Structure 1
Amino acid sequence: MTTTDTTLADLLRLDRHAQDLLFREARTANTFTDEPVTDEQVRAIHDLVQWAPTSMNSQPLRVLLVRSDEARARLLPHMAEGNRAKTGAAPLVAVLAADHDFHEQFHRTFPHFPGAKGVFADDEVRAGAATLNGTLQVAYFILGVRAAGLAAGPMTGYDAAGIDAEFFAGTDRHVLAVVNVGHPGEDAWFPRSPRLGYDEVVTTV
């Protein structure tokens, strides 16, 4: 089958509705309705995205759900000024962090390789692996939010050291992204920005 016989979308296993939901219609939401995001929805998102692949089944992502007014008041001063209002108004805020001590769980997450923990004995190697695989899991989390019929507003405009000190003191967890989650509100989207084309991205050797 070639693209002369069908459209590119028809070459994919997902139906077009699912393709649109997860990718083509995925936008960073900047406003939200006041409809709540339930704990059950968050559990459903985790139940789906936990299966997505990472290197050596590393699972460094840790999710801090900011729901209370007190916790949000602690978070907002560490957000960039342009991100504060929408973070204050979102029904749910998820602080996504990488746990650099993820290797402590390898006896559970990678049981068929008893020596896996030793691979990450070096702090620098472990930190790099936590950041890489945690970032993969951030992307999976955002896709899970979309799969739940919700909108995500991922942000990296914040004081990372401030968030780490505020919420993760005494641990080896480090923020990777802050994601607002909810149903999109009025004028939620900025105009769609262009994407690079296939020939600009893909090289064959």
Structure 2
Amino acid sequence: MLSDEGMDLIFREARTHKGWQDTPVSDTLLQSIWDLCKMGPTSANCSPMRVVFVKSQEAKERLKPALMEGNVTKTMQAPATAIIAHDLEFHEKLPELFQQADARSWFEGKPKFIEETAFRNGSMQGAYFIIAARALGLDCGPMSGFSKEKVDAEFFPEGTWKSNFLCNVGYGDPSKLPPRDRRLTFDEACWIA
């Protein structure tokens, strides 16, 4: 079982950051996020998530027009922004990733099934991404306030990758955090059948 300190780091004390310390995040650390989050389960190991790490000023300027006004400053100041996307051709890699059956054939000619599977499993992998980043001592600022169409046109013009959400990554500035909002209780959100 993970220690209380580990659970605090990943969940209980972790926050969604909007302000960032001026501390860079190395490419090696970004690769470490991937190396952890790729291990989370997906259906038939389909692994549809794809990530573009936006770090350079040039790349940030390409991303900026797609951001909603309230997300511009925090994204431009973040050491890195991950575009969490999913690949609509993920099933082409299934012969390598899932050798127990001919899983690629499950998806051939079924675009709606492909899209649903890519989005669902890519979203799960996006959550693993946040957990992995936090486990490595980084802070995250996930957001959906952006134009998917603009991001896809700018970063994925070939059309097979589709953006899902953005996640700023770095070392958060705790002085910029508001008080934590409450969460739903078990009785408000769950029931046991």
TM-score under structure 1 normalisation? 0.91
Residue of structure 2 in register with 1:33 after alignment = 21
Quick one: distance in 2 between partners of 1:171 and 1:160? 12
Classify 1:184/1:28 alpha carbon distance in 2 versus 1 (closer, same or farther; 3 Å).
same
Cα drift, residue 54 of structure 1? 1.1
RMSD across aligned positions (CA): 1.0
The corresponding residue for 2:169 is 181
**Number of the residue aligned with 1:120:** 107
- List runs of 5+ in structure 2 lacking aligned partners: none
Look up the match of 1:83.
71
CA distance in 2, matches of 1:169, 1:190: 38
User: 1:191, 1:42 → 2: CA distance?
Assistant: 29
Deviation per CA, 1:124-155, whole angstroms, max 9, x where unpaired?
00000000000000000000110010100001
Residues 1-205 of structure 1 aligned to structure 2 (within 5 Å): 13-113=1-101, 115-121=102-108, 122-185=110-173, 187-205=175-193
Q: Deviations over 1:52-99 (max 9, x none)?
A: 111111111101011111111010110000000010011111111011
Distance in 1, matches of 2:98 and 2:143, equals 31
Matches of 2:126 and 2:177, distance apart in 1 = 21
**In structure 2, distance between residues paired with 1:186 and 1:200:** 29
- Which SS does the other structure have where 1:187 is aligned? helix
Same amino acid, percent of matched pairs:
40
Per-residue deviation, residues 99-120 of structure 1 (Å, max 9, x unmatched): 111001001110121x200111
**Moved beyond 4 Å, runs of 4+:** none
**Unaligned regions of 5+ residues in structure 1, if any?**
1-12
Letter in 2 for 1:138: G
Q: Give the SS at the match of 1:65.
A: strand
Q: 1:194 to 1:140 in 2, by over 3 A?
A: same
1:194 to 1:186, Cα distance in 2 relative to 1, 3 A: closer
Q: What TM-score do you get using the length of structure 2 for normalisation?
A: 0.96
Amino acid at match of 1:50: K
Q: In structure 2, how many angstroms separate the alpha carbons of the residues matched to 1:97 and 1:123?
A: 17
